[in-house]
Structure 1
Amino acid sequence: MVDADREFDIVLYGATGFVGKLTAEYLATTATGPGARIALAGRSADRLLAVRESLGPQAQSWPLITADASQPSTLADMAARTQVVVTTVGPYLRYGEPLVAACAAAGTDYADLTGETLFIRRCIDTYHKQAQDTGARIVNSCGFDSIPSDLTVFALYRQAQRDGTGELEDTNFVVRRFAGGVSGGTVASMTELAREASLDPEARRLLNDPYTLTPDRAAEPELGGQPDARWRRGREIAPELDGYWVGAFAMALPNTRIVRRTNALLDYPYGRRFEYAEQMSVGRSIAAPVAAAMATGGNVATMGLGSRFLNRVPRGLLERVLPKPGTGPNEQTRERGHYTVETYTTTSGGARYRATMSQQGDPGYKATSVLLAESGLALALDRDKLSDLHGVLTPAAAMGDALLERLPAAGVSLEVSRL
C-alpha cells in the first residue's frame, strides 16, 4: 500500500515531451497550494530545467528527477518517492513496461495515455496480481483515449442506478463533433501495435476479441461480434440521430475493450447483457453514407492490410515520414480544437438515456493533458473517493466517482439526460 508520507504526490514522467509539457503547464496553474507536491521527471536534466523555467513562479520549487526506461533502477527510485506517477512516455509497447514494473513493485499508483491494447493486456498478465498485493493502482488510458468512453458509460450506469431503471443493455458511443489533429505519439503507438499484430497471430486474435482485456474470458457473455468497424443509419442507435449516418471511429478498438473491462472489474454492474459499440457521426448530407462507408473501410484497412504493410517497411523509414512523437500543433490550433461525444443506452427496464461529454481543446493534446493531469490529481488527492480496487485498472473502475466530481471544474462538461 502506498505510503502517504512519501516525498511527492505526483511525479510527471516525460515532462519534456509535447503532451508532457502541456500536462506540466496545466498542473502548474491548477495544482498550486498545500497538498500538491509535484516533481518533473525525464531523461535530460537540462531539458527538465528548461521546462520548469517556462512554467512560471508557481512551479520553480518543483524538484527535477532524472530517470530513463533503459535504466530500470532509476525508475524504481523514482516510483518509491511518490504516491503517483503520471507518464506520457510512449509508444508504451516499446518503452512502457519498466515503469509499470517499478510502480507495481513499489505500491505506487500510475496513470498513462496508452491506447495500445496489447500493452494493457501485457500489464494485466504480468503485473495485475503484484499490484493487487502491493496496493498499486495501474490505470491505463487516462486521456481522450479512453476517459470519454469509460466515464460516459459509468455516468449512465450511475443515473440508471439512482432511477432504478435496470441494467444497461444496448449502448452506443457516438462522436458528434471533433476538431483536432492526431499526435505523433498516437501515430507511433498505432504503428507499433499494427506491427506487432502483423508478426504475431496470437496478437491478432487478441485484437479481434471484444473482451481482450477481460479479467476472466470464460465469465464473459457471448453477445455476438460487437464489431468495431461498421456503418449504419443514426436512427438505428437512437431516434435523436434520425437523418444522420455513422461510421467507424478510429479508436473504437481500445476504447471498447476498456469499457468492457470496467464492467468486469466492478463485477458487472452494467449487466450481463451490456453491449457496447463506438461510432462517429459523418453528417446527414447526400454524401454521408459514402463517408460512413469510407471511414469504416479505412479503419478495417489500418489494422488489417495496414499491419501487414507496416511489417514490410523498415522502422527507420517509417520514423522519417510519420509525425514524430513529442511533436504537435501550435497553440492557436490546440486552443481551437474541441470534441463532443454522446453515449446512448437502453436499460433492461426500457428507459433510454444519453450522456453528453464535451471539452474545449485539441483532443489529442490540450484536452488529453487536462484529463491526464486530473486523473493524477484524483489518484493523489481524492483517495477517499477512489474505489477499493487495486491492480491494473481502468479510469472508471479506479476513480469513476472522483472524476465525475472533479472534471467539471476543469472545463469538462458531462451531462446525463433521460430521453
Structure 2
Amino acid sequence: MTDAGHDARHEVRDAGDTERRTHDVVVYGATGFVGRLLAEYLARNAPSGTRIALAGRSRTKLEEVRRGLPRAARDWPLVVADAVDEVALRSLAASTTVVATTVGPYLRYGLPLARACAEAGTHYADLTGEILFVRKAIDECDALAKASGARIVTACGYDSVPSDLAVHLLHQQAQHDAAGGLLDTTLHARAKGGVSGGTVDSSRAQLDAVSTDRRAVKTLFDPYGLSPDRNAEPDLGKERDPMAVFRDADTGDWVGPFVMASFNTRIVRRSNALRDHAYGRRFRYRELSAYGRGPVARGRATAFTVGLGLAMKAMGDDRTRPVFDRIAPSPGEGPSEKTRRTGWFSMKVRTTTETGRRYLATVTAQGDPGYAATTVMLGEAALALALDGDRLPPAAGVLTPATALGDVLVDRLRRRDFTLRVEEIPSA
C-alpha cells in the first residue's frame, strides 16, 4: 500500500547533493530478522519512486532476501558492506540520503556506520536500546553531524518512539494551554509480544562493557547519562528507575519495573535538554509496567519483577550465563508471525503542570511492539528523513525521535493506525 499523501518528493538537501546520491534509503542489516521485516514494510508502503537499496555483508543472502520480498523490491540494488569495513561503510553512507540500520548490538557494531553517516551528511536511524552506545555516538559523532547537517537519530522503535512522542505531545498541549512546564510525569506500559535474540544480545553487550569499564557503570546509573551537558541539568534529587512492585496512588493499578525504563527515560530527558529544557526545569520522568487492579494483577507484577531480576542476574554472572544462553533465543531469531500479528502495546503518560493542570497522553498500536510495531516506527522514521526534509524540525547532530522528527513522525504513525492523543484530565 502506498502512502498517497507523500507521493510528492521533499528534498532534504540542495538539488546537487541529492542528485549525486544514488539511493533515498538503504536498509542496512537486511538479512537479519528485523532487517527483513523492515525491507518488506518499505516494499509495501514506501511511495512509488522511492529509491531503496538493501545492504549487508553477504551478497548471496541479500539476493535471497530480495527474492522473497514483494514485487516492488525485485529491482532494488544490493550494497555489500561489513560492519567493520570502514571504507565500505563510508561508500555506503555517501551513496544515500538515509541509512536505516538494524545491525546490533550497536555497542559492538554500530559506531563505525554512525560515524560514516555523520561525516557524509547522511541521515541515520536505528533501533538501539543501549545507553552506552548512544553515549559513545554523542561523544564521537555529534559535532561531526552538526557540521555536516546529518540527523543521527537513535531509538526509532518501541525504544523509544512511544515514550518520546508522548511527552512531546504533552509538552505541546501544555504550551498551547499556557499551563506551564511539566512536573511529575509517569508512563504506564502494557504490552503483548515476543523477544528476539538480538534484544538479548544487546543486553549482553552492555553487561560485558560494564564489567571492564567503571565509567560505563556511572553512565548507566546516571539518569542524565545522555545529556548534552551534564552540568546544566537540574538537581532534582535521585531519579532512580523504580524496581519494586507497588500500587499506584493515581490510577489504583499495581505497577512494577518496565524493562526499557532505564533507556527510555534517558532519551526523554535528552529531548528536554536538546530543547533547552522546554519541558521544564522541574520535569521529573519515570516509566512503569502496569498490570491492572486486584490480587491477580499484583501476583503478575510480582512474578514478572522477580523473573526480570533473576534473568539479569543470570546473564551477568559468568557461572550462570551459559545456562541462560542455552535458554534465551539466539541472534537472528525472533517471534513467530502469529505473535507479531496478535501483539499490541498501550502506553499512557500522565503529567501535572506548573499551573496544576493535568494531562494524559495515550500511544497505542496493534502488532508485536518490538517487531511489527517497531518495523512501522523505523520505516516511517526513515521515510520522513528521506522525503520530508522541508517539514522536519531544523536540527542536526545526534538526536532523539522527538527532536529530529517531531510532529512529522506523529502524523505518519497516525496514518498507519497508531493512536497518539492528549486529553486534559480532572485535577486530583
| TM-score (normalizing by structure 1) | 0.93
Partner of 2:204: 191
Q: Unpaired runs of 5+ in structure 1?
A: none
Q: For 1:246 and 1:396, locate their aligned partners in 2 and report how far apart those are by CA, in whole Å.
A: 26
Partner of 1:21: 36
Matched, 1:415 2:428: no
Q: For 2:247 and 2:388, locate their aligned partners in 1 and report how far apart those are by CA, in whole Å.
A: 39
Read off the aligned partner of 1:127 and give its amino acid letter: C
RMSD: 1.9
1:368-388 deviation line (CA, Å, top 9, x unaligned)? 111110110111111112121
Q: For 1:56 and 1:261, locate their aligned partners in 2 and report how far apart those are by CA, in whole Å.
A: 38
Matched, 1:125 2:139: yes
Partner of 1:389: 395
Matched, 1:30 2:31: no
Is contact 1:247–1:291 with CA below 8 Å preserved after alignment? Answer: no
Partner of 1:335: 341
Offset, 1:32: 3.2
Partner of 1:270: 279
Offset, 1:320: 5.1
Q: For 2:95 and 2:240, locate their aligned partners in 1 and report how far apart those are by CA, in whole Å.
A: 43
Partner of 2:101: 87
Q: For 1:232 and 1:274, locate their aligned partners in 2 and report how far apart those are by CA, in whole Å.
A: 23
1:287-345 deviation line (CA, Å, top 9, x unaligned)? 44454345445556666x456415x5678x86555311221122112101111110111
Describe the SS at the equivalent of 2:47.
coil
Offset, 1:222: 1.1
Correspondence 1:102-117 to 2 at 5 A: 102-117=116-131
Partner of 1:160: 174
Q: For 1:338 and 1:16, locate their aligned partners in 2 and report how far apart those are by CA, in whole Å.
A: 25
Matched, 1:52 2:52: no
Describe the SS at the equivalent of 1:346.
strand
Read off the aligned partner of 1:13 and give its amino acid letter: Y
Matched, 1:200 2:213: yes
| TM-score (normalizing by structure 2) | 0.91
Partner of 2:364: 358
Describe the SS at the equivalent of 1:228.
coil
Q: 1:178 aligns with which of 176, 191, 194?
A: 191
Read off the aligned partner of 1:147 and give its amino acid letter: V
Aligned residues: 410
Q: For 2:80 and 2:325, locate their aligned partners in 1 and report how far apart those are by CA, in whole Å.
A: 26
Partner of 1:406: 412
Describe the SS at the equivalent of 2:414.
helix
Describe the SS at the equivalent of 2:282.
coil
1:67-125 deviation line (CA, Å, top 9, x unaligned)? 11121111110000101000000001111111011111111110000001001001111
Q: Unpaired runs of 5+ in structure 2?
A: 1-11
Deviates more, 1:107-116 or 1:45-54: 45-54
Describe the SS at the equivalent of 2:119.
helix
Partner of 2:6: none
Deviates more, 1:287-296 or 1:13-22: 287-296
Q: For 1:325 and 1:345, locate their aligned partners in 2 and report how far apart those are by CA, in whole Å.
A: 38
1:168-211 deviation line (CA, Å, top 9, x unaligned)? 11100111x31111111110001111221122221111111100
Q: Hey, which bits of structure 1, 4+ residues long, moved more than 2 A? A: 1-5, 229-236, 287-303, 305-308, 312-315, 317-322
Read off the aligned partner of 2:167 and give its amino acid letter: V
Is contact 1:229–1:299 with CA below 8 Å preserved after alignment? Answer: no
Is contact 2:314–2:321 with CA below 8 Å preserved after alignment? Answer: no
Q: For 1:318 and 1:133, locate their aligned partners in 2 and report how far apart those are by CA, in whole Å.
A: 44
1:214-270 deviation line (CA, Å, top 9, x unaligned)? 00001001112222124465543x3xx22x111000100110000000000111110
Identity level (%): 51
Describe the SS at the equivalent of 1:4.
helix
Offset, 1:4: 2.4
Matched, 1:212 2:225: yes
Q: For 1:300 and 1:393, locate their aligned partners in 2 and report how far apart those are by CA, in whole Å.
A: 31
Q: For 1:411 and 1:66, locate their aligned partners in 2 and report how far apart those are by CA, in whole Å.
A: 35
Q: For 1:18 and 1:135, locate their aligned partners in 2 and report how far apart those are by CA, in whole Å.
A: 31
Read off the aligned partner of 1:309 and give its amino acid letter: D
Partner of 1:255: 264
Q: For 1:30 and 1:185, locate their aligned partners in 2 and report how far apart those are by CA, in whole Å.
A: 25
Matched, 1:309 2:322: no
Partner of 1:11: 26
Q: For 2:389 and 2:408, locate their aligned partners in 1 and report how far apart those are by CA, in whole Å.
A: 9
1:275-294 deviation line (CA, Å, top 9, x unaligned)? 00000112212144454345
